[in-house]
Chain A
Amino acid sequence: MQRNPKDLPSVLAQKRRPAPDFILPLLPPYRAAWGETFRLADHLGKGPVVLNFWASWCYPACYEEAPVLEAFWRRHQGRVLLLGVNTQDKEEEALKFLAQFGLTFPQAYDPRGRVGVDYGLYGVPETFFIDQKGRVLARHAGAIDEATLERYLEEALR
């Protein structure tokens, strides 16, 4: 009778719903390049978007995937937008995590986890793939690996 929580379906991805919009402040190190706040709608329809929900207290999964995400961003920057959404975390701790991994892709700050509720988040880390039309293509729960990132990016670019 036990179900794997990772198998729980995403309502958004199942029905290919439009990605719920949000406006979040960006963490200080990213403001120079991306502005004070990040509005998802400004970036939809221009190319695929990948949202990665994470927290510094999410050990080890978030720590495992951070270098993978950074490598993915460096490889595909320009073809895809990768946004980190720091969820239910303390800013200080989040900044320490970002410095530790030297993440260069933009990072939004959502201490309440309000955006997570809109995406039907079960936990962190979770990664959402948004296609070029701004619809949610897939959700991945748990630490993500390179192969999965590439596979969904191909799907989103199709």
Chain B
Amino acid sequence: MRWVFLLFALLLPALAQEAPPPDLSPEVFRIARELRCPVCQGESAAESNSGVAQEMRRLIAEMLKEGKTKEEIKAFFVERYGEWILYAPPRRGVTLWVWVLPVLGLLLLGLGLSAYFRPRPLPPELLEEADRRMREPPS
């Protein structure tokens, strides 16, 4: 029973962070999390309490009510702020490298490591030497 409480206690802060204020739907925050807060450094429009971020969340809520999709809402902000506003760089053009390079790097690292640690056959002269020693009794 105790572990249930422990688990709950561990999860509670995470849950508290997820829960949006009651007036805006969680969907608003899901979209806002993918958008940069223009006046902040390293904060999304979901986390920031700045006036602009609040207005962005209000706009997202309004657009959702109008039946706009997530992509349409993101496009609305890109239209005004440029792709800079997207938290994740778009997966095309120059910024595609941001996505591709880490994977490529990991792949190369894996290849290098496996090549380094692969069991290699012993050189024939060494094997011969061992063979000879086994047959000849030590003098």
Contact = CB atoms under 8 A, between A and B. Distances in A.
Nearest to A122: B38
A113 B52 CA distance: 7
A120 B83 CA distance: 11
Contact of B82 (A88, A112, A116, A120): A120
A8 interface: yes
Contacts of A12: 80
B130 interface: no
A129 B38 CA distance: 21
A9 interface: yes
Interface in A108-145: 112-114, 116-123
A120 B39 contact: no
B55 A113 contact: yes
Given A121-B38, A122-B39, A113 B51 contact: yes
Contacts of B59: 114, 117
B102 to A, nearest CB: 16
A11 interface: yes
A86 to B, nearest CB: 12
A121 B39 CA distance: 9
Contacts of A122: 38-39
A116 B51 CA distance: 11
Contacts, number: 39
B58 to A, nearest CB: 7
A116 to B, nearest CB: 7
A8 B81 CA distance: 9
Given A123-B38, A123-B39, A11 B81 contact: yes
A123 B30 CA distance: 24
A117 B39 contact: no
B82 A117 contact: no
Interface residues of B, number: 14
A118 B79 CA distance: 9
A32 to B, nearest CB: 29
B66 to A, nearest CB: 15
B97 interface: no
Contacts of A9: 82
A122 B56 CA distance: 12
A111 to B, nearest CB: 9
12 contacts: A8-B82, A11-B81, A87-B51, A112-B58, A114-B59, A117-B52, A117-B55, A117-B56, A117-B80, A119-B80, A120-B80, A121-B52
Interface of B: 38-39, 51-52, 55-56, 58-59, 77, 79-82, 84
Closest 10 CB pairs of A and B: A88-B51, A120-B80, A120-B81, A122-B38, A11-B82, A113-B55, A123-B39, A112-B55, A113-B51, A113-B52
